[in-house]
Amino acid sequence: MTNSLISLVAGSPGKSLVSLAPVFAQATGGGTTAQLQQSFNLALGIVFFFGFIWGVIKIWSGANALSKGDADGKMGIVAGIIIAGAAAIMGAFYAIFNISGATLTPSF
């Protein structure tokens, strides 16, 4: 018996797409899932690292604009705080709604 999903995607019964096999294998658990999660943890850590730096720069430029009398500097500061603290904000939301098991831990 052939897999109906693969047959549906391939377009004809009995044919399978070899290129889809690794994608399906990642969802089965085991070593590949742990490696995939570790890769996502690393990517998330890099995104948060650059996001924090971008947020600090945004806060700094907002404070500079505010010191020159520009009223939009306040929004730059608020945006910088949100960008720089995105990891802490999302972690708090996950903890509030008690779904902390669904989170990834950023790593470097």
Structural domain harbouring 75? 4-102
In a domain, 107, yes or no: no
With a cut of 50, list the residues of the chain below it in pLDDT: 1-10, 25-26
The token pair at 97 is: 């709604």
The token pair at 105 is: 């831990």
Per the structure, the count of domains in the chain is 1
Q: What is the pLDDT of residue 63?
A: 93
Q: How far apart are CA 54 and CA 82, in angstroms?
A: 11
In a domain, 10, yes or no: yes
In a domain, 32, yes or no: yes
In a domain, 50, yes or no: yes
In a domain, 108, yes or no: no
- The model's pLDDT over 59-88, given as tens digits with 9 standing for 90+, comes to 999 999 999 998 889 999 999 999 998 888
Residue 33 identity (one-letter amino acid): T
Q: What is the pLDDT of residue 31?
A: 65
Q: How far apart are CA 77 and CA 11, in angstroms?
A: 54
In a domain, 49, yes or no: yes
Residue burial 61-81, b: 16+ Cβ < 10 Å; e: rest: ebeebbeeeeeebeebbeebb
In a domain, 76, yes or no: yes
Q: What is the pLDDT of residue 89?
A: 86
In a domain, 75, yes or no: yes
